[in-house]
């Protein structure tokens, strides 16, 4: 996660630096921010950056760029700072507030989808503080479908249905659970596996059109990777058309796509860059040597090999970016574009 920590007092500064060290050790990218006068007063130049030009403008910029904002100070400061920028739970970053003594850690915004509750738990454990969690499913120790999906990098089809499921669980009523992917470990209380006679349930599948319940909340794991090759100058639309065609043919939701990969000769291929940018998908490039190192049998093209040094770019690229995954659709060609699909291994697990 990209995290910003804002502190406003000397005690808050000391605590913010301690939290940063802990969060960075867990693999996060954390930055500390303080009023410029405070940086001078407590001599934290080089360890913190200034809150400038003012708190409201600064917060707006951080709100758009970061995954989480942590305010070390009074809740009122945090609430006033973020008030103008709050949109909805699918877009807002996690926002937490911690008192300068480190006694209480309070998730204020995006407790589930944004991960504020889990972040609060981790920080509280490190500080020996009390996490002040107020979301109903958490305080009642019930399954939270939106938090679970967000943690496992899965897409949620319908927040209204998610809310209905949470309300049903809070009323101590069972909810159906259907999965096309393997389930490991114990099911959470009140989730009933493969009970299709219920009026409402959760469906975990790469296909968001699968509706086993009258009210179905589709959870789509982002586990599918596109390997793409194309002729020079291929426009975005041709790439998109073949991608959509292959996803439909394989009953895979576009929301299941986790990333795209190609050969490094395509780093300036505008159509490919535009397709990735339009859909906010990470784009990875590999050298011919890296692609040749991927074991397996492929449909090789002598022509492609003479240009790129690799006889099959799309299948090898899809497998490489999926980090040990398997092909679910081999090379398909059309209009100067080649596409293959690989899926990273993923199981339904309720341990997180």
- Asked if residue 33 is part of any domain, the answer here is yes
Which pLDDT score, from 0 to 100, does residue 309 have? 67
Token representation of residue 162? 């998610």
Which pLDDT score, from 0 to 100, does residue 198 have? 81
Where is the domain boundary, 221, 255, 274?
Answer: 221
Q: What is the extent of the structural domain holding 81?
A: 2-134
pTM of the shown model? 0.82
Residues (pLDDT < 50) of the chain are none
Judgement on whether residues 25 and 67 belong to the same structural domain of the protein: yes
Q: Are the CB atoms for 66 and 49 separated by under 8 Å?
A: no
Which pLDDT score, from 0 to 100, does residue 194 have? 78
Phi, psi at 111, each rounded to 5°: -60, -40
Where is the domain boundary, 134, 164, 191?
Answer: 134
How far is residue 261's CA from residue 240's CA, in Å, rounded to a whole number? 14
Domain count across the chain: 3
Token representation of residue 231? 């002729």
Which pLDDT score, from 0 to 100, does residue 197 have? 75
Residue pointed to by tokens 């980090």: 323
Q: How far is CA 119 from CA 3, 73, 112, in A?
A: 11, 17, 10
How far is residue 154's CA from residue 206's CA, in Å, rounded to a whole number? 10
- Asked if residue 144 is part of any domain, the answer here is no
- CA 147, chain centre distance (Å): 11
- Asked if residue 50 is part of any domain, the answer here is yes
Which pLDDT score, from 0 to 100, does residue 298 have? 78
């Amino acid at each position: 996660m990209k995290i910003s920590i804002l502190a406003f007092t000397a005690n808050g500064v000391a605590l913010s630096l301690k939290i940063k060290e802990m969060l960075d050790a867990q693999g996060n990218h954390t930055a500390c921010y303080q009023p410029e006068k405070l940086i001078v007063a407590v001599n934290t130049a080089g360890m913190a950056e200034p809150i400038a030009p003012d708190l409201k403008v600064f917060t707006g910029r951080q709100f758009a760029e970061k995954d989480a904002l942590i305010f070390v100070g009074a809740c009122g400061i945090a609430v006033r700072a973020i008030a103008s920028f709050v949109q909805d739970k699918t877009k807002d970053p996690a926002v937490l507030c911690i008192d300068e003594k480190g006694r209480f850690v309070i998730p204020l915004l995006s407790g589930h989808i944004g991960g504020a509750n889990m972040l609060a738990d981790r920080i509280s454990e490190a500080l020996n503080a009390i996490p002040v969690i107020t979301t109903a499913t958490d305080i009642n120790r019930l399954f939270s479908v939106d938090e679970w999906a967000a943690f496992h990098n899965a897409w949620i089809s319908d927040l209204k249905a998610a809310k209905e499921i949470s309300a049903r669980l809070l009323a101590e009523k069972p909810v159906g659970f259907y999965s096309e992917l393997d389930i490991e470990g114990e099911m959470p209380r009140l989730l009933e596996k493969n009970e299709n006679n219920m009026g409402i349930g959760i469906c975990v599948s790469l296909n968001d059109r699968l509706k086993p319940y009258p009210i179905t909340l589709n959870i789509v794991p982002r586990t599918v990777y596109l390997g793409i090759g194309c002729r020079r100058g291929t426009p975005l639309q041709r790439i998109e058309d073949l991608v959509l065609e292959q996803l439909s043919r394989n009953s895979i939701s576009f929301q299941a796509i986790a990333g795209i990969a190609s050969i490094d000769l395509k780093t300036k291929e505008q159509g490919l860059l535009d397709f990735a940018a339009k859909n906010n998908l990470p784009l990875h490039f590999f050298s011919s040597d890296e692609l040749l190192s991927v074991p397996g049998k492929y449909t090789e093209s002598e022509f492609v090999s003479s240009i790129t040094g690799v006889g099959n770019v799309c299948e090898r690229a899809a497998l490489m970016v999926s980090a040990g995954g398997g092909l679910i659709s081999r090379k398909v060609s059309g209009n100067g574009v080649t596409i293959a699909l690989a899926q990273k291994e993923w199981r339904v697990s309720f341990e997180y």
